[in-house]
Chain A
Amino acid sequence: AQSVTQLDSQVPVFEEAPVELRCNYSSSVSVYLFWYVQYPNQGLQLLLKYLSGSTLVKGINGFEAEFNKSQTSFHLRKPSVHISDTAEYFCAVSDYRSGAGSYQLTFGKGTKLSVIP
């Protein structure tokens, strides 16, 4: 099974500053990668996903992520954060489980982004 590592559990950043949230996954022949966001007291919602094609993926709210196969990374970036970006961000990989005969999402442990006014 895949593993997903989010290298920072908490990231404080000043408003209007850039931010990068790091995500690494264990190697596989092919991977499908996701970033989900969880605002306080809410469920998760999809920010963006990489399936194939261009390695730079654009998502909602001005976020983008770059798939780097050689470094097995899928880091999330935003050039200028807003207070409303304060949330927890989860990286996830679609992983085939042979025992179950299906693909399942494996989530990282999350990164809490705190935007400081």
Chain B
Amino acid sequence: NAGVTQTPKFQVLKTGQSMTLQCAQDMNHNSMYWYRQDPGMGLRLIYYSASEGTTDKGEVPNGYNVSRLNKREFSLRLESAAPSQTSVYFCASSEALLAGALGETQYFGPGTRLLVL
């Protein structure tokens, strides 16, 4: 039982390049989330998905797209990377049928460290 896995662990991009961050969970969870973590800022929600085929914007969605490929996988795409997207990206999942339901515990992956030059 691996929990939440993310690939790659590290990535360096040049401005304007694109890439996709992959996330998978093996806990049969319904909801999945993408956050970014910046020094002194805590975690901010980029996008989330309550179920396969549905996605919704979070607090900081600009410059990102997501795909909920199936119940297990939720990918985050940067179409044209910018230095402001340098960050650590975390994927999380929860059992809740309604994303963000009261009291739910979210389970986090180990993160992807992205540097955009």
Give chain A's interface residues, CB within 8 Å of chain B: 4, 9, 32, 36, 41-46, 49, 51, 90, 94, 97, 100, 102-105, 107-110
Determine chain B's interface SS by DSSP, over half rule. loop
CA separation between A51 and B99, bound complex, in Å?
A: 17
Chain B contacts of A103 at CB under 8 A? 98-102
Taking a contact as CB atoms closer than 8 A, the residue among A41, A45, A102 that contacts B56 in the complex is A102
Residue of B nearest to A43 (CB): B108
- The 4 A-B residue pairs with the shortest CB-CB distance, nearest first, are A43-B108, A103-B100, A107-B42, A109-B42
Contact check, B50 vs A102: say whether CB atoms are below 8 A apart.
yes
Contact check, B109 vs A43: say whether CB atoms are below 8 A apart.
yes
Contact check, B110 vs A43: say whether CB atoms are below 8 A apart.
yes
Chain B contacts of A90 at CB under 8 A? 42-43
Give chain B's interface residues, CB within 8 Å of chain A: 4, 40-45, 48, 50, 56-59, 90, 92, 98-111
Chain A contacts of B106 at CB under 8 A? 44, 46, 105
CA separation between A97 and B101, bound complex, in Å?
A: 11
CA separation between A76 and B40, bound complex, in Å?
A: 19
Contact check, A94 vs B100: say whether CB atoms are below 8 A apart.
yes
Taking a contact as CB atoms closer than 8 A, the residue among A32, A44, A51 that contacts B90 in the complex is A44
Taking a contact as CB atoms closer than 8 A, the residue among A46, A105, A109 that contacts B40 in the complex is A109
Chain A contacts of B111 at CB under 8 A? 41-43
Among B4, B43, B108, B111, the most chain A Cβ lie within 10 Å of the Cβ of: B43
Taking a contact as CB atoms closer than 8 A, the residue among B58, B105, B109 that contacts A46 in the complex is B105
A-B contact pairs, 24 of them (CB 8 A): A32-B103, A41-B111, A42-B110, A43-B4, A43-B92, A45-B107, A49-B105, A51-B102, A51-B103, A90-B42, A94-B100, A94-B103, A94-B104, A100-B56, A102-B48, A103-B98, A103-B101, A103-B102, A104-B58, A104-B99, A107-B42, A107-B43, A109-B42, A110-B42
Residue of A nearest to B90 (CB): A43
Chain B contacts of A9 at CB under 8 A? 40
Among A32, A103, A105, the most chain B Cβ lie within 10 Å of the Cβ of: A105
Contact check, A49 vs B103: say whether CB atoms are below 8 A apart.
yes
Contact check, A102 vs B103: say whether CB atoms are below 8 A apart.
no
